[in-house]
């Protein structure tokens, strides 16, 4: 892949609680320079990122119910509504793991459907984070099915905060069970070009990473060596 092709599928991410205004300004400038799909920032920084990126091709992504997914549906709805009103067009929400593990599938599906309705009213995209590293294979399958049924546009492998990051096996497993209309975002621990390429070849359509500069530099080196 060329650096440009790789950048176009990356959500350039900074979700550290210590992120400053200067950090977000740099993140947005880099995303525009490189041609990233979006920047993924903390909800607090959505208005700033929107102002910085307005008029560019880079969209604003933020998180809801992050990182545990255990807040109430009302709390998630308020988070999502505030985010889209402030300029976010992509929402990465954490699936309610507690409800899933308790067998409360209806609760899981209703949770996702409620947020999907808010996001889609603004023509946005909803990505549902499964946290694959905490789930069995059977649980991953079921969680992905529920997300698809509830209106998710993407299923995302992990937050990058609670367990291991994305694996090729996770992506392949999710691709097998999801309809073609639901895409996959691989996230967590993506730090090399080979890893990024393998995840995309396995079926991911988007990558979430804070190591964008490293990946693109390696992509440039690969192109130069051809």
**How far is the CA of 79 from the CAs of 20, 43, 63, 91, 111, in angstroms?**
21, 8, 9, 10, 13
Alpha-carbon span 214 to 220, nearest angstrom: 10
Decide if 185 is catalytic: yes
Tokens of 199: 């995840």
**Which is the catalytic residue, given 76, 127, 153, 156?**
156
**How far is the CA of 117 from the CAs of 10, 63, 91, 191, in angstroms?**
25, 16, 12, 34
Please name which of 109, 103, 106 lies closest in space to residue 128, comparing C-alpha atoms: 109
Instruction: Return the beta strands (E) in 6-152 as ranges.
Output: 10-14, 38-41, 59-64, 90-94, 125-129
Decide if 92 is catalytic: yes
DSSP three-state, residue 144: helix
**Which is the catalytic residue, given 11, 92, 111, 153?**
92
Decide if 176 is catalytic: no
Residues sharing a CB contact under 8 Å with residue 60, sequence separation 6 or more, in sequence order: 38, 39, 41, 46, 49, 50, 53, 87, 88, 89, 90
Count of Cβ atoms closer than 10 Å to residue 169 Cβ: 12
**Which is the catalytic residue, given 11, 153, 170, 185?**
185
Place of tokens 């950090």: 23
Residues belonging to the active site: 92, 156, 185
């Amino acid at each position: 892949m060329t650096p440009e092709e790789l950048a176009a599928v990356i959500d350039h991410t900074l979700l550290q609680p210590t992120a400053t205004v200067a950090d977000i300004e740099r993140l947005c400038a880099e995303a525009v320079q490189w041609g990233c799909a979006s920047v993924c920032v903390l909800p607090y920084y959505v208005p700033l990122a929107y102002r910085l990126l307005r008029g560019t091709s880079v969209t604003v992504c933020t998180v809801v119910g992050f990182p545990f997914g255990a807040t109430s549906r009302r709390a998630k709805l308020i988070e999502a509504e505030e985010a889209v009103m402030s300029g976010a067009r992509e929402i990465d929400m954490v699936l309610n793991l507690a409800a899933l593990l308790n067998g409360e599938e209806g609760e899981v599906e209703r949770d996702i459907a409620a947020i999907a309705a808010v996001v889609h009213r603004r023509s946005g995209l909803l990505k549902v984070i499964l946290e694959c590293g905490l789930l069995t294979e059977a649980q991953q399958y079921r969680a992905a099915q529920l997300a698809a049924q509830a209106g998710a546009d993407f299923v995302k492998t992990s937050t990058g905060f609670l367990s291991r990051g994305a694996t090729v096996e996770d992506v392949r497993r999710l691709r097998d069970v999801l309809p073609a209309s639901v895409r996959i975002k691989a996230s967590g621990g993506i730090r090399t070009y080979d890893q990024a390429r393998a995840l995309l070849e396995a079926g991911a359509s988007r990558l979430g990473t804070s190591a964008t500069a490293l990946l693109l530099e390696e992509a440039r080196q690969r192109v130069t060596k051809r």
